[in-house]
Structure 1
Amino acid sequence: MFGKKWFQTLVAFVLIFALILLISKVNFLFSPIIKYVQAVAIPIVGAGVLFYLTKPILTFLEKYRVKRIFGILIIFLLLILVGILFVMFIVPIAQNQIHNIIANTPKMVQTVEHWINLLQSNQITIPPQVNDAINNFMSNIQSHVESIVGYVFNFISQLVSFVISLALIPFFLFFMLKDGDKLVPFITQIFKKEKADNIKSLLKKLNYTLAGFIQGQIIVSFILGVLLFIGYFAMGLDYSLTLALFAMVMNVIPFLGPFLAVIPAIIVALIQDPIMVVWVLIITVIAQQTESNLISPNVMGRVLSLHPLTVITVILAAGSIAGFLGILFAVPFYAALKTIIMHFYQTYQDSKDNKKDALI
């Protein structure tokens, strides 16, 4: 029985769960490590995203015999130039539109109340449960507004530490670009050649998966944002740039992001002119179809090979566990975990085939 595969698998699961239980009982030992990871998480993640976005540029420059240090300097100059252009041309327009949105918030609330009252006047078409929920929301709207204000102040208090973390991103990015190629040899130097080659293969696959996701998702989100801005601007929708920027950010979340992105545009269109809701939906469908059928297959390819139902399930589960951050990092984490599992499974299969060949 001890040599049976099912028994060994069962023992492995029992040991894993026992280890998890033991860690949960002594989690106070890991709290300093967790705090340290939380402190450096934003700089590392931010620098990692920029690393995968700028690494192709560095590789291109080195291909033409530009020294790495000068290539990194060129990349930083390009990033500074992009930042300056963004601050000069995009931020003032977005800031003005956000100010107008805040100024017109009372009008928006009145319009929403009007539509709710209009729906409530037709009691036949509204289920009692929905009607009770609407009445509960309207009676507690003041408390909801106060809660939002509390969230805003909490956000401002956290913004300071976030800005400090952002200031560390250039330092992390510099060393990632400069010494990133030394990481794999440093990790594998303590292993024998066969295991070292296996680890190198795994790290190469992980690098390919993360690069494909980050580069593809950023490019796809940018193109989709541009398409939506063109459509919103052409139809005369108010706050078109701000809504397109919001859609660009939300589209980073796979599958669910586009649905979240269109909600503010529908609300603005409903307040501006109800018929514009139809045009917003048409433009969104055209942009999404262009993205899903033309842009994503060519930009992201089949790097992730994830079924949409799997992605939605992972996002919902991660969101219930870790909130917005869980939603944001669920897909790359799952893709990396899948890559690791598939690699070790392939290694196991190769070892079995080698044993069979040896017996023959």
Structure 2
Amino acid sequence: MTKKLWFQVGTAILLTLLIIFMFMKVKSLFSPIVIIGQTIFMPLLIGGVLFYLSQPLQKWLESRKFPRWASILSVFIAIGLLGWGFYALVGPPLTKQVNLLVKNTPEIVKEIEDFTTYTLSQKERIPEIPESLKKTIDGAIAKIDTIAVAAGGLLIKFIQNVFQGVFLLVLVPFFLVYMLKDHERFAPFVAQFFKGDKKIWIRKTLADIDDTLRAYIQGQLFVSFLVGLMLFTGYFAIGLEYALLLALFGMIMNVIPFLGPYIALVPALIMALIQEPRLAIYVAIIMLVSQQIESNFITPNVMGKSLDIHPLTVITIILAGGNIAGLWGIILGVPTYAIVKSILKNIYAQREEIKDTATKSV
């Protein structure tokens, strides 16, 4: 029975749950490790993203006989030039729109309050609305103040995290340098603790994980950039205020699979309704067209089927990740699932190979 797959999988799940349970009981003992992990998490994550984005340039330079130190220096120069170019091109208008938004925030809040008051005064004049729907509307309106306060608190927390992140970004270049310098050594370092077929399996699994992360990070960020460009073009064409700011928000939210575009649509619709109600229809059309182009043309050609994850699975992962780890769970849930899937696929392939070998020997 111990050789049955279901028994081994069940045992592994039970042991994992037991380890998690024991860790939760003694987690105070690991608080220093947790603090250190939280401190280096963000710089390590940003360094990893920059590594996968800059790796094609490094490979191209080294294929042209650039030494490793020269390729790393060239990568940093390229990142610096791109950052400077982005700031010079986008910085002034973005700063202007942010300042204008801050200045007009009281007026925007007043517009929302007036709209809420009007809705409250008019909802009794619509008898055809079912009673259950009216109760839903009443409940949603009653929660507007709570949601607004919570959103304000999240905004303040976000600003605080940005300032803390600026301080922590000092660590990013160090992580990036060592990743660019020694990334080929990681797999051999891990594999040296194993022998024979296990060593080969470890090397192959790490290579598959590397390919998965590369495909996801490079593809997702490039797709998000193109979506942001399409949104800005559309918003600018219809004369929507804060077009650049809203397009950048849409680009960032597109990193979140499936739910990101819907999140990005909400502030754009609010701004359109405040500016001119008919613009809200144009905003919805722009978002719909950009998402159709992204899902049917851009993503299949940029990312292909490298992750091969069903949309229903993506939704489940996002919901579960959000409940477990909040925003980071939503952002990192899909790539984490893709990594686990790669590991399990390699485990299954190894088991099948062992079975075939045993069958042939018999």
Fold shared per TM-score above 0.5: yes
* Deviation of 1:137 (Å): 3.8
Q: Secondary structure at the match of 1:122?
A: helix
The superposition leaves residues 29-69 of structure 1 with CA deviations (integer Å, 9 ceiling, x where unpaired) of 32222221111111110000000000011111111111121
CA distance in 1, matches of 2:233, 2:3: 65
CA distance in 2, matches of 1:7, 1:149: 50
* Deviation of 1:92 (Å): 1.7
Deviates more, 1:86-95 or 1:268-277: 86-95
- Of 257, 265, 268, 2:268 maps to 265
Deviates more, 1:194-203 or 1:148-157: 148-157
CA distance in 2, matches of 1:159, 1:346: 44
The superposition leaves residues 166-205 of structure 1 with CA deviations (integer Å, 9 ceiling, x where unpaired) of 1211111011001111111111122213221110000000
Q: Is the 8 A contact 2:224 2:254 kept in 1?
A: yes
Aligned to 2:51: 51
Change (3 A) 1:97 1:194: same
> Counterparts in 2 of 1:224-303, with a 5 A limit?
224-303=227-306
* Deviation of 1:26 (Å): 2.1
Aligned to 1:109: 109
The superposition leaves residues 239-293 of structure 1 with CA deviations (integer Å, 9 ceiling, x where unpaired) of 1110110000000001111111111111111111111111111111111111111
Q: Which runs of 4+ in 1 moved over 6 A?
A: none
CA distance in 2, matches of 1:196, 1:235: 59
> Counterparts in 2 of 1:55-204, with a 5 A limit?
55-120=55-120, 121-123=122-124, 124=127, 125=129, 127-134=133-140, 136-137=142-143, 141=145, 148-204=151-207
Aligned to 1:20: 20
TM-score by length of 1: 0.93
Deviates more, 1:179-188 or 1:240-249: 179-188
> Counterparts in 2 of 1:27-38, with a 5 A limit?
27-38=27-38
The unaligned stretches of length 5 or more in structure 2 are none
Q: Secondary structure at the match of 1:66?
A: coil
Q: What is the aligned residue count?
A: 356
Identity of aligned residues (%): 41
CA distance in 1, matches of 2:12, 2:87: 54
Which amino acid is 1:99 matched to?
A: N
In the alignment, is residue 354 of structure 1 matched against residue 357 of structure 2?
yes
CA distance in 2, matches of 1:16, 1:328: 23
> C-alpha root-mean-square deviation of aligned residues, in Å?
2.0
- Of 337, 341, 344, 2:344 maps to 341
